[in-house]
Amino acid sequence: MRRQRPLDTALDSPDQRRAPEQALCWMNGELMPASRARISVFDHGLLYGDGVFEGIRFYDGHPFRLQEHLQRLVLSTRALALRILYDNHELTEAVHDIIAACTFGSGYLRLVVTRGPGALGLDPASCPRPEVFIIADRLRLVDEQVLERGARLIIASTRRLPADGLDPRIKSLNYLNHILARIEANHAGADEAILLNGAGRVAEGTADNVFIVRHGVLLTPPPVEGALAGITRQVVLELAQEAGIPVRETPLAPYDLYTADECFLTGTAAELIPVASIDGRALPRCPGMLYRDLQQRFSALVELSGRAP
């Protein structure tokens, strides 16, 4: 992999050097302020959503579950017959390089692979070289007030794309149906929206997975229902099993959400978010006891990962 130039020498002048907390970008082997990063207007990722991405948290200078994210990225590229010019070792090195260049020790990375620039028209054969870039910035999906009182959810009328249209295991740049659901949440004054699949069962949130608790059992929809197989979702499943909490992956209907004892959301950006109400129906416990337990275990795991060598 071509080593990036030192960050400061990649800038146009000393006056443009990176200010504290400024977002960074690693693009095709070069580190730069995110404001300097450029992509062609002919890039098929921009024109047609032809590309994939991963969102990755880093804590105290260490990426969280990086190899799981990179494995999912590779599977997504293979599903789209999308070439990636960097191997696992090179991408791992790039992630560590951009984290080391950050002035903030904890934040969020967006790793993107696009088809690259090509001719107008859908044919990907016109794109000779993919673009790969990583953005490093801070991100909080909800504010502290929401974490304290719990999120207010609605069930969106927008449905999750079915697997025979776009397999949810592909983390593609096409998020339009999630955006439409998010617009519904905004119009309703809600914090988040839940998407149902074509059969009317619960799939996922616009940017997160869904868990509920009933009679002490942790329940979540299986990926076959239209949910992304989230990395944080898997971490929560592992933590629950280690703690002896009964866990079931099972189809859920809106009724199950309305009548749950607890509900919470998980995701790389979301981390863990308690849910206070769904379609105006208040849940009995928020934050619930099981949520608090898993949140503490997740925080302890994050702290441990931040001390990794």
> Looking at 152, 171, 233, 297, which residue is catalytic?
171
CA gyration radius for the chain? 20
- The tokens 């499943």 sit on which residue? 237
Q: Which residues contact 51 (CB under 8 A, 6 or more apart)?
A: 44, 45, 80, 82, 112, 113, 114, 115, 130, 172, 173
For residue 124, what is the DSSP state?
G
Active site residue 171: yes
Query: Using CB atoms within 10 A of its CB, is residue 144 exposed (0-12), middle (13-18) or buried (19+)?
Result: exposed
**For residues 132 and 6, what is the distance between their CA atoms, to the nearest angstrom?**
19
Tally of CB atoms within 10 A around 1: 14
For residue 269, what is the DSSP state?
T
User: Which residues are annotated as catalytic?
Assistant: 171
